[in-house]
Amino acid sequence: MQHLIPIASGKGGVGKTLLAANLGIALAQQGKTVVLVDLDLGGSNLHTLLGIRNSHPGIGHFIYKQAETLEELLVETPQQRLFLIPGDGLFCGTANLPFHRKQAILKQLPEIPADFIILDLGSGTTYNTLDLFLTSSAGLLVTSPDTTAILNAYSFLKSAMFRLLQRSFPAKSAERHLVLDFLQQKMEGSSLHIQELVTRIRGIHPESGDRARDALGQFRPRVVMNMGRTAQDIGLGGRLRKVVQDNLKSGIEFIACLPQDEMASRSPLERSPTLLRYPECPYSRSIAHCAHRIIQEPAPPPAPLFEDDQDLQELAQRFESLL
């Protein structure tokens, strides 16, 4: 069974692409077949972090109908069992992804034959990025301990949940109109909560209310805290959890804390993946551990309760032992 792992962030530059490349390598080293897909349209650089030249057809070819399937774009990488579908680096203007091509990508992604299909996304909350993130209920959201990054991570989750509700109902349905009206009101300064929206959807039809509740309940993205310098930085993850719990009534799981590591910033300049060049550095060891956890639990359990920050405390202990 394939598992899709989209990797997103609210703020840019927090380490998504480095994570995608190295997590792919770690999963492949642990025996899994992995396909990395560069879906950072307009900003693709995953090939660079894998040490591959930008000369292969990629997503841009698919978008402009010069390739019929995503599968035909697969490129081998320096790591056995790891393949890449390059981005749109050979084209301009694909940031405006036409609707039908987006639909074709969303349809074909789960059909790629691999154990894990990792999507490196652009930062921010455009509908394209949100829709790619919603291809799985267990995507990875990357943040750094920086306050702006944490607030942007919260905004990303909020936008993803509203988009999820919107897409849970057919176009032109009363439910979808309600979500759009609700978003409009929020933009105008109302403080209505997402749970209030679910209640209103239930007012249209009880079954619709159940569908909205189930969609939100199954949405369980996992958070990666990257560029941590001290165990206290990990504690900042607790702030993200609290704001998500208070405002979105949703729990989040922290799956990894990756240290700020000179080897991680150096290896891209050397055009080789961190895990292959510096397999013993703290960043590489944390990535290998994260891959191991993902293999053991490819999708998080339906309703974890982490109110006592147990996951964060465990990550803080591991983190201290690494440094």
Ligand X SMILES: Nc1ncnc2c1ncn2[C@@H]1O[C@H](COP(=O)(O)OP(=O)(O)OP(=O)(O)O)[C@@H](O)[C@H]1O
CB of 43 to ligand X, least distance (A): 6
- The first and second tokens of residue 88, run together, are 């749109």
Q: Which ranges in the chain belong to alpha helices (H)? A: 16-29, 46-50, 59-63, 99-108, 127-133, 147-167, 174-187, 194-204, 206-218, 231-235, 237-248, 262-269, 274-277, 282-296, 310-322
Nearer Cβ to ligand X (10/208)? 10
CB of 110 to Mg ion, least distance (A): 22
Backbone angles phi, psi at 185, to 5 degrees: -60, -40
- Tell me how far apart the 2 most distant CA atoms of the chain are, in Å: 58
Q: How far apart are CA 223 and CA 288, in angstroms?
A: 16
Q: How far apart are CA 175 and CA 198, in angstroms?
A: 10
Nearer Cβ to ligand X (166/274)? 274
14 binds, among Mg ion, ligand X, none (CB under 5 to 8 A by kind): ligand X
Is there a contact between 211 and 168 (Cβ–Cβ < 8 Å)?
Answer: yes
Nearer Cβ to Mg ion (7/244)? 7
Binding site for Mg ion (CB under 5 A): 16-17
128 binds, among Mg ion, ligand X, none (CB under 5 to 8 A by kind): none
CB of 270 to ligand X, least distance (A): 11
Handedness of CA 227, 233, 238, 243 (dihedral sign): negative
CB of 7 to ligand X, least distance (A): 8
Nearer Cβ to ligand X (14/118)? 14
Binding site for ligand X (CB under 6 A): 9, 12-18, 40, 43, 123, 226-227, 258, 260-261, 264-265, 268, 283
Nearer Cβ to Mg ion (226/286)? 226
12 binds, among ligand X, Mg ion, none (CB under 5 to 8 A by kind): ligand X
CB of 323 to ligand X, least distance (A): 12
